[in-house]
Amino acid sequence: MGIHDIGIDIIEIERIKNAIKDNSRFLEKIFTNDEIKYFESNGFKAESVAGNFAAKEAISKSMGTGIRNFNFKDIEVLRDELGKPIVKTYNNLEQICIDYNVLEIKVSISHCKQYAVANAVTIIKE
């Protein structure tokens, strides 16, 4: 087991608030149905949406590619029963993970009043 790469991203929560307000399709374009259900259960808090957005960006960086050859909805960030973020991959990103021998992608998300931040580590089988 080894680390393929790491990634980090930070975003202004206000930017996500504005994207949600100004673009009625923002959530559907970026997030999976289950992520949107999670946001709904959480009262659509902008900091939660921003955290997931930052997580997707951090994950793409931890793959060493950024958002290339897959899209945002190929990454799903949900929570376990304790609130820990859990990453699932789909479609092209799932295939990239198979090709790179990815065992797991770990992510941590945090936020303060103005910013949400996430870091990700892609763990591979060596």
The angle formed by the CA atoms of residues 8, 84 and 59, to the nearest 5 degrees, is: 25
Beta bridge partners of 77: 87
- DSSP annotation of 89 reads E
Is residue 40 annotated as involved in ligand binding? Answer: no
Residue 22 assigned as binding residue: no
DSSP state of 74: G
Could you give the CA distance from residue 33 to residue 39 in angstroms, rounded to a whole number? 10
Distance of CA 52 to the CA centre of its chain: 5
- Active-site residues, by number, are 61, 111
Distances (CA, A) of 35 to 2, 51, 85, 105: 29, 12, 11, 17
Give binding residues as ranges.
9, 57
Give binding residues for Mg(2+) as ranges.
9, 57
